[in-house]
Amino acid sequence: MKRLLLAAAALLAALALAGTLRLPDFAHAGDPAASDTIVVDGVGSIRVVPDEAGLSFGVESRGATAKAALTANGNAMRDVIAALREARAGDITTQYVSVWPVSEEGSTISGYSASNTVSATIGIARAGDLVDAATAAGANDVSGPELSRSDADRVFRQALAAAVANARSRADALAKAAGRSLGAITRISEGGETPVPYASAASAADTGTPIVPGKQETSATVSVTFGLR
């Protein structure tokens, strides 16, 4: 029996010297700071007044034939586009062109309708004037506005910074409640962007089409992992 024990001890020693056997390290096994983390979600929001408006302007025309309807529609839309350019609108883009038969009672085709719609953007202060100019030029279908910020990326970065600060504040409160303190950030991931419009009191002009921007809230979310000490 002694010979077997001595042989086993000699084998373990040889393996340790050869580097094929690694003894477990118990030095940090009971140290919670070596592995403890806390994961917290943070939310940040920034409220700003939109400074750009996106609008759509359409013209619908009638004609005895499809070609006649399209010709009349094209002439009318050229007037609308000229008015948009004169009003200094930007990003003027055709959205769609369509033509379809118009039927009276039963299935008798009495003529054709043609439609053309363009979109455009402009500073919020001149959005109402743009609507008035387009309708005066012949637009008979107007939709919008879609309000936005020209510096949306900068606003979202501010919301992200606020979200990280919110996550740190929440994590610090949790750590203190547990009798611990925060360490370094070990992981961070970004959530989405959520612009939400808010209505505000109208300040419409005496004449013209009023466009009231209100305020828009841009929110960001983050998930942050902190080490604990």
Q: Per-residue pLDDT tens for 38-84?
A: 999 999 999 999 999 999 999 999 999 999 999 999 999 999 999 99
* E strand or H helix at 93: strand 90-103
29's tokens: 């096994």
Q: Are residues 143 and 76 in the same domain?
A: yes
Q: Are residues 174 and 218 in the same domain?
A: yes
Q: Are residues 38 and 72 in the same domain?
A: no
Would you write out the chain's pLDDT as a tens digit for each of its 229 residues? 444 444 444 444 443 333 333 333 434 444 444 458 999 999 999 999 999 999 999 999 999 999 999 999 999 999 999 999 999 999 999 999 999 999 877 778 889 999 999 999 999 999 999 999 999 999 999 998 889 888 889 999 999 999 999 999 999 999 999 999 999 999 999 876 655 555 443 444 455 677 777 788 889 999 999 999 9
Q: Are residues 144 and 157 in the same domain?
A: no
CATH of the domain at 74: 3.30.70.2970
Compute the distance between CA of residue 94 and CA of residue 116 in angstroms, rounded to an integer.
8
Domain that holds residue 83: 52-148
Of 148, 182, 217, the residue at which a domain comes to its end is 148
| Local structure of 53: helix, strand or coil | strand
Of 131, 148, 165, the residue at which a domain comes to its end is 148
pTM over 0.85: no
Of 148, 174, 209, the residue at which a domain comes to its end is 148
Q: Are residues 155 and 45 in the same domain?
A: yes
| Local structure of 186: helix, strand or coil | strand
